[in-house]
Amino acid sequence: MSEVPDDELESRAAAEQETRGASDQEDAASPSAERPPLTSPESVPATLPPVSGDGVSFVGLVAVIAAAVLAQNVTITAYVVDAAGKQSATASATASASAATSDCTPSQSISISWSSNPAPAGKWLSITWTGFPTGSISWTCHDGSTVDKYSTTATTSPFTASTATCYDAVPSDSVYVVTDGVTSNTISGD
């Protein structure tokens, strides 16, 4: 990584301070003037005004985060300049972000197995719903050539029911359940 010469740093700092001072005067003269929103990577300044003292530039931090989100890949270089105006440290990092593609719906799945609870024929199916909201849950049980409808009330998530769910006493049948378009694993009849 190459260092920026001290005289260039001083020149940049002076130019940015002048620009910042003029901008601050304009803002003071027109308090209702708003800064344009960061809508593209081009609207994020290439360099941020220097911060004096022990503070952190939150405006700069927001601009860097916005640049990372908008550009999806940005390199951040920070220069630490001592009181005499000399560069004492340099740090560089690359940040990237990708646009969210999830609709924030938790992943939903259904897992089934045979419980040990006796049913009218064979045993009841044990069904676990993961990622489904609490409240009423309805499902169809596909067992061989039969489709039966059931429902229950989920009190937690994940939720498991192992009685009054579905049963099939024909070992050659394939059994699975469907809730809201989500299909469980398939198992053989009990």
Over residues 124-158, the pLDDT tens digits come to: 999 999 999 999 999 999 988 889 999 999 999 99
Instruction: Using the predicted structure, report yes or no on whether residue 101 has a pLDDT greater than 70.
Output: no
Task: Give me the pLDDT at residue 116, please.
Answer: 94
> Tokens at residue 75, please?
């390199």
pTM attached to this predicted model: 0.47
| CATH architecture of the domain covering 109-188 | Sandwich (2.60)
pLDDT at residue 190 in the model: 80
Region 34-56: mean pLDDT is 52
Give the residue extent of every domain in the chain: 6-95, 109-188
| pLDDT higher than threshold 70 for residue 74 | no
How many Å is the Cα radius of gyration of the chain?
Answer: 31
* Cα(92)–Cα(105) distance, integer angstroms: 36
